[in-house]
Amino acid sequence: MTPQTAARLSPAELAPYIQHTRIDVLATHDDMVAHAREAVQYGFSAAMVAGSWVKVVAAELAGTGIEVASALDFPVVGITSSAGKAAEAAELVRLGATQIDIGVQIGWLKSGMFSEFRDDIAGVVKAAGVPVKVMLELPYLTPDEREAAVELAQEAGAAYLKNASAGTVETANPESVRFLVERLRPGVQVKASGSIKSYEQALTLLDAGAVLLGTSAGIAIVTDTSDESTTSY
């Protein structure tokens, strides 16, 4: 994706870059079926859902070509044991997930436990066998920790690096995206995440080098009807 390419995209043409997100403790079965159908209707890259709804959403999306994504250690990152995280990743894939987003052990990184930080990610990569997107939570890290996190995540086999897990950590911005893009190894890509609410904001993130956008405001973005006051992941 180049600035020239992104600049030519209409709102509707952003849909293949958007991971349509709904992780909501109040969501019902009907809500999640509707969410999956929205992903098909608008042509989103994926339906991103809580692990408890992967089986339902995967059944709804079967044969559509839309990815089924789910997240571990979200919305609170770094609270699951490495073995538990790997086991959950394997189970979500068995249920139909085709992509997994994971939180990282920030405390381990800050403690200099670099091998443990890397192996925590690598365990999920190995157990899942599908693309793993790593939420690095860049605003919580010092400059040196950011560099280490990027390198360790890639050593562990991450398919995508993410600036943050949600808007409570960082509003996705071109600076963070470019930071990641400039440090990518061959084959690794960037997913931007965090309060992505508008068509214009989405374009700036694609211009900066992101290839996926995680947001719960996908419909508003592709119809260019965004409301900046709304909350979005």
Catalytic residue numbers read 101, 162, 191
Phi–psi pair at 110, nearest 5 degrees: -70, -20
Query: Which alpha helices (H) appear in the chain, and where do they start and end?
Result: 3-7, 29-42, 54-61, 82-95, 106-110, 114-128, 143-155, 174-181, 199-208, 218-222
Separation CA 177–CA 193 (nearest Å):
10
Give CA separation, 158 vs 149, 162, 164, 183, in Å: 11, 10, 15, 13
Give CA separation, 172 vs 103, 134, 190, 197, 212, in Å: 16, 15, 12, 10, 12
Question: Do the beta carbons of residue 18 and residue 213 sit within 8 Å?
Answer: yes
**Phi-psi region at 62: left, alpha or beta (left = phi > 0; alpha = psi -120 to 50):** beta
Q: Which two tokens stand for residue 15?
A: 């849909």
